[in-house]
Amino acid sequence: MGYIPTSSVILWILGVTFVLVFIRDFRTSRKLKPVNEGYRPRISFFNKINAPLIVPPIKAETSNVSPKDNNNNKKDQKEQQRVLDSSEIQDQELHQQGTIILFGDSLVENSWKYELGGFGARLADIYRRKLDVVNRGYSGCNTDQAEKILKKILPTGKHRFRNVVDKQHQQIDIQDQAQAQQRQANDAKTKTTKLIEALIIFFGTNDAKVDPSKPGGRSVVVKHYVFNIIKMVDLIKNQDSPYYSPDTKIILIGPPPVNDKQFAKHRAELGKTPNRFNNVVKEYSDALIDLGKSLNLPTIDLWSKITMASQNLYGQEKDQDGNDPGLDNFFTDGIHLNYLGNSIVFDSLMKALEMVDSSLVANDMKMAFEDLLG
């Protein structure tokens, strides 16, 4: 037998050992012991490479707690969760911003068009992180329809208010008179403020639409137009109303003039005849101005503002058809506002908001989370 080098013998022994260990680990991985309490399977070389770690379930330790105590513990846990949820809701209310609602027809709906200098979009921009400006404009809407719609968009009950600022307010179950009195005392310490800072009501153009099929030949006759506006105001100001919010400010905006010549051309392109006229719209504008005075509400006379701006551009002379040529600069089609028209509404509305409530001066208002964000 020839000479075998020592190094070869060592390598042969290591190889055999590796094979034996591999076979043993393979059998171990294929034939695990049953999982018993406190047993943790052996993690072998083979397990590490090819098998996931098997963790046996841990049995809950038995205790001497009675079923009654268990039920009490569950009740305590539910109560803790309820208080936690209540706190979370309260925090959300603390961080909720006030709201300005723009309520009207297509003149409001289109006020979100920034490319036209929409007064709604500009209002939302100037009040960003201060107040939420909400567009509730509905194309084609008149006051008959608006009074019904407003009931569906105004908040009721506790949702009319925001900012629960007194953390001493506690939720308790009223089981007896003493607890009821305590609840009333806590409620008295709870300070809330209105959710809707201001409601802007802007209607009239569609009410003044000439419609021979309707009584009086109008979509909504003037006296009903005025009555509908009163009912909308009453929803907010009447203490018996479910929408009652005495501190909410209301601003009325009258309809703008109609550029008769421009609107007639627009209607002709659609194969239709004009159904709105400047002299008719003026009746609704005048009626709203009178109503605003009688209700002591700030009212924007948009008809007069745009007419005066037009005359400042071209003077008071009319064209051969009796139209005001300067009105072409304020409308896209004779009734809907362009950039200049929207600018007049925006400027007038900002002045009205700041006049009706000094706390609504945008430049003086604090931004949300200003202290946190720096």
**What gap in Å lies between CA 130 and CA 96, rounded to an integer?**
10
Q: Is residue 3 part of a domain?
A: no
Q: Is residue 301 part of a domain?
A: yes
Q: What count of residues does the chain have? A: 374
Whether the predicted model's global pTM rises above the 0.75 cut: no
Which CATH number goes with the domain that contains 260? 3.40.50.1110
Q: Is residue 80 part of a domain?
A: no
Strands 131-137 and 249-253, bridge-based pairing: unpaired
Tally of domains within the chain: 2
**What gap in Å lies between CA 139 and CA 113, rounded to an integer?**
14
Strands 98-104 and 196-202, bridge-based pairing: parallel
* Same-domain check for residues 143 and 26: no
Residues 83, 85, 91, 96, CA torsion sign: negative
* Same-domain check for residues 285 and 213: yes
* Same-domain check for residues 210 and 129: yes
Q: Which domain holds residue 319?
A: 88-155+195-365
**What gap in Å lies between CA 234 and CA 245, rounded to an integer?**
10
* Same-domain check for residues 300 and 344: yes
From first to last of its 374 residues, the chain has per-residue pLDDT tens of 555 566 666 777 777 777 676 666 666 555 544 444 444 444 444 444 344 433 444 444 444 556 556 666 666 666 655 544 443 334 344 446 899 999 999 999 999 999 999 999 999 999 999 999 999 999 999 999 999 999 999 988 655 555 433 333 333 344 455 555 555 555 444 444 568 999 999 999 999 999 988 888 999 999 999 999 999 999 999 999 999 999 999 999 999 999 999 999 999 999 999 999 999 999 999 999 999 999 999 999 999 999 999 998 877 777 766 678 899 999 999 999 999 999 999 999 999 999 999 999 999 998 888 777 85
Q: Is residue 251 part of a domain?
A: yes
* Same-domain check for residues 107 and 256: yes
pLDDT of residue 313: 83
Q: Is 212 helix (H, G, I), strand (E, B) or coil?
A: coil
* Same-domain check for residues 54 and 102: no
* Same-domain check for residues 104 and 54: no
Q: Is residue 25 part of a domain?
A: yes
Residue 101, strand partner residues: 134, 199
* Same-domain check for residues 53 and 199: no
Residue 271 corresponds to which amino acid? Answer: G
pLDDT of residue 316: 72
pLDDT of residue 100: 96
Strands 98-104 and 131-137, bridge-based pairing: parallel
Reading the block at residue 338, the tokens are 């362009």
Residue 279, strand partner residues: none
pLDDT of residue 314: 78
* Same-domain check for residues 51 and 115: no
Residues 203, 250, 368, 84, CA torsion sign: negative
* Same-domain check for residues 96 and 26: no
* Same-domain check for residues 103 and 221: yes
Q: Is residue 10 part of a domain?
A: no
Q: Is residue 113 part of a domain?
A: yes
Q: Is residue 82 part of a domain?
A: no
